[in-house]
Structure 1
Amino acid sequence: MPRQSSSVSAADVSDELPLSINSLSYAYPGALPVISDFTLHLPRGSRCLLLGANGAGKSTLLQILAGQHMVGPDVVRILGRPAFHDVQLTSSGDLSYLGAQWRRDVAFAGYNIALQGDLAAGEMIHGVEGVDPNRRQQLIDLLDIDLQWRLNRVSDGQRRRVQICMGLLKPYKVLLLDEVTVDMDVVARLDLLDFFRQECEVRGATIVYATHIFDGLEGWLTHLAFISQGNLLKGGPIGEITDMGDAKLLKTVERWLRTERNAVRKSDHGTPLNSLHKGPGANGTDTQQKPASKQPAPFFPSRHMAYFH
């Protein structure tokens, strides 16, 4: 009979959280690591802002969380289940991912419907089965969608509203957002942020939001994760980030990004980058971050088969 352990394992802790990342390292085939030794845990109802310079690894991280790239079953856990291996996470609507790059379909919202065909917005939105009609109407009103819009004749911002509506129709438990509000006007963006706050506070949803637009985010976020070259430099509850100070969020992030850029420039002139990478880790405490490995990843025939730890 197998021996019972009295200690609580990392997997047990991960299964109690809606989102858990445990020492994630990831690289595309034949390339250097994009994510290195990344650990972050988010509780139910949290709103985590994902920050970093262009190319820091934010989009890749969100795609991994969305189950689009293979990692070990205990490395990334969503609602206590492996993100890549459990396809029911997305098909059930429990996990929803809306990407930043404009796409011709909303496959990542689980539907695979053309967004630039000669279709009416109402045909798409009302064509999704198993949706609460009250929630559908709430989103239509919130996003100010005209159901008569022909999707091949409207602006990118209007198509974006339809895409967001499609992604939010089912009451997700974990929502991943990658620059989804970039095409939206300020009123629509602020209304959407208020909706997300209600989703977290009333339903206990957990949201990870990557953006470079900080309007309305003061007081909105509960957690923060700042990524530099695939390393988590600062992460955890907003109140435990020791380097926040009293400055506005925009000024704080600007300072972090400028410090990072200067560190990269110094590393190009012989100063080790990891000697400058100090900051709060996943629990908000100061940690020494390890630089990404300089060894290329082994080649695999599929981008989904990049190596993992």
Structure 2
Amino acid sequence: MSFDKPYEHSVDVKDLFFTYGGPPIIDHLDLQLNAGNRCILVGANGAGKTTLLRILAGKRMVPGEIKVLGQDAFIDGPMGITYLGTEWANNAVVKSDLPVTYLLKSMGSHRWPERTELLLNVLDVDVNWRMHQISDGQRRRVQLVMGLLHPWELLLLDEVTVDLDVLARADFLNFLKIETEERGCTIVYATHIFDGLGDFATHVAHVADGKCLSMNEMKNFEEFEKIKIKHQQEKRLDSPLTTLCIQWLREDRDRLRNIKRIDPVTGLPHSKWDEMSENMKKNGDKYYNYWK
């Protein structure tokens, strides 16, 4: 399916390199996505997924050609980019005695009444909830409604479904799939929960140690098809995509263990994260703030 957009690629990353001053977090990474693509980022903790998403969101200036929606991710900061991460739930404001209606109005819900109603239904959010009285999962659903009110062209998701129950997650993913198919918008989604994503993703990118080791289109992905056939033959009920991702992650772990020295204290491989300077937090990204 093709969409008429004023840019060639929704995401166009070439030879991206990023470091906090020590070993690279992103090490010469390439990534290209088109309108309508839904890409899952697969990688272990510390692989560089969150850093990549924040760079695409324009939260950090980096050298090199990083284009989103046809413009420089940091300098031009194009409209239509939405980043949703887990840190939002730690914001004191969203745990205070505020009604959901107040937060929705602060995001301009009156401008998109039909879209607001749709999102409230999809995520089963009650506008009469008060933020200090609800669970973490309900608070996460409020975040998603708020973050998706404004129609987006590029959606960057960082583990935001971790607090959702199975039904809420399924309805949410279905909503996102319809958005990409009808409006030609693009999703980059970093997660460690792969169940239900085999039919959701159009692409899967394998990220390890700051590099994109592979980028595969799901409909022409021979390795994934072989796993699906094997699952069918063995009448397995678990997710073929989960099987594939676990295989990748195990290979990554074994490979990195072979090339990294073992810390004598912890007995674990010594990683680049252990070599970061103590002032990394000062140079790192601040929490995403809807009210900035």
Task: Provide the TM-score with structure 2 as the length reference.
Answer: 0.80
Q: Deviations over 1:170-214 (max 9, x none)?
A: 110000000000001000000000000000000111000111111
1:279 equivalent in structure 2 = none
Aligned-pair CA distance for 1:244: 2.8
Task: Please tell me whether the aligned partners of residues 24 and 76 of structure 1 are also in contact (alpha carbons under 8 angstroms).
Answer: yes
User: 1:45·1:200 contact (CA, 8 Å) conserved in 2?
Assistant: yes
Deviation at 1:269, TM superposition (A): 7.0
| Alignment counterpart, residue 27 of structure 1, candidates 19, 26, 32 | 19
Q: Secondary structure at the match of 2:161?
A: coil
Q: Aligned partners of 1:152 and 1:238: how far apart in 2?
A: 41
Aligned counterpart for 1:85 among listed residues 75, 83, 94 = 75
Total equivalences in the alignment: 255
Aligned to 2:172: 192
Change (3 A) 1:150 1:229: same
Q: Is the 8 A contact 1:44 1:205 kept in 2?
A: yes
SS in 2 for 1:183: coil
Evaluate the alpha carbon distance shift between residue 304 and residue 254 of structure 1 in structure 2; reply closer, same or farther with a 3 A threshold.
Answer: closer
Checking the alignment, whether the CA contact within 8 Å between 1:235 and 1:241 is kept in structure 2 is no
Kindly indicate whether the alpha-carbon contact (under 8 Å) linking 1:156 and 1:183 is maintained by their aligned counterparts in 2.
yes
Matched, 1:56 2:47: yes
1:212 aligned residue: 192
Distance verdict in 2 for CA 1:137–1:153, change over 3 Å: same
Whole-Å Cα distance in 2 between the matches of residues 19 and 131 of structure 1?
28
Q: How does 1:186-265 map to 2 (within 5 A)?
A: 186-247=166-227, 248-265=240-257
Task: State which of 77, 98, 101 in structure 2 corresponds to 1:122.
Answer: 101
Distance in 2 between the 1:155 and 1:231 partners? 37
How do residues 68-217 of structure 1 correspond to structure 2 at under 5 angstroms?
A: 68-72=59-63, 75-87=65-77, 89=78, 92=79, 94-105=80-91, 114-129=93-108, 131-217=111-197
Does the 8 Å contact 2:89/2:139 carry over to 1? Answer: no
Letter in 1 for 2:116: R
Question: 5+ unaligned residues in a row in structure 2: which ranges?
Answer: 1-5, 228-239, 263-271, 286-292
Q: Provide the identity percentage.
A: 41
2:48–2:210 contact (8 Å) kept in structure 1: yes
Q: Give 3-state SS (helix, strand or coil) of 2:156's partner.
A: strand
More displaced stretch, 195-204 vs 128-137: 128-137
Whether the 8 Å contact between 2:83 and 2:155 is mirrored in structure 1 is yes
**Alpha-carbon distance, 1:71 to partner:** 1.5
Offset at 1:264?
Answer: 1.6
Is residue 83–residue 157 contact of structure 2 (8 Å, CA) maintained in 1?
Answer: yes
TM-score, with length taken from structure 1: 0.76
Distance verdict in 2 for CA 1:148–1:250, change over 3 Å: same
Question: Which one has a larger percent helix, Structure 1 or Structure 2?
Answer: 2
SS at match of 2:201: coil
What is the Cα-based RMSD across aligned positions, in Å?
A: 2.6
**Is residue 98–residue 176 contact of structure 1 (8 Å, CA) maintained in 2?**
yes
One-letter identity of the residue aligned with 2:183: R
The secondary structure found in structure 1 opposite 2:86 is: coil
Deviation at 1:243, TM superposition (A): 3.5
Q: 1:151 to 1:302 in 2, by over 3 A?
A: closer
Q: C-alpha displacement at 1:117, in angstroms?
A: 1.4
SS at the partner of 1:225? Answer: strand
SS of the residue corresponding to residue 118 of structure 1 reads coil
1:196, 1:54 → 2: CA distance? 25
Gaps of 5+ in 1: 1-13, 106-112, 271-291
Q: Tell me how far 1:222 sits from its aligned partner.
A: 0.4
Q: State the 1:251 CA deviation.
A: 0.7
Give the counterpart letter for 1:85 in structure 2. I
Deviation at 1:240, TM superposition (A): 4.5
Extract structure 1 runs of 4+ deviating beyond 4 A.
299-302
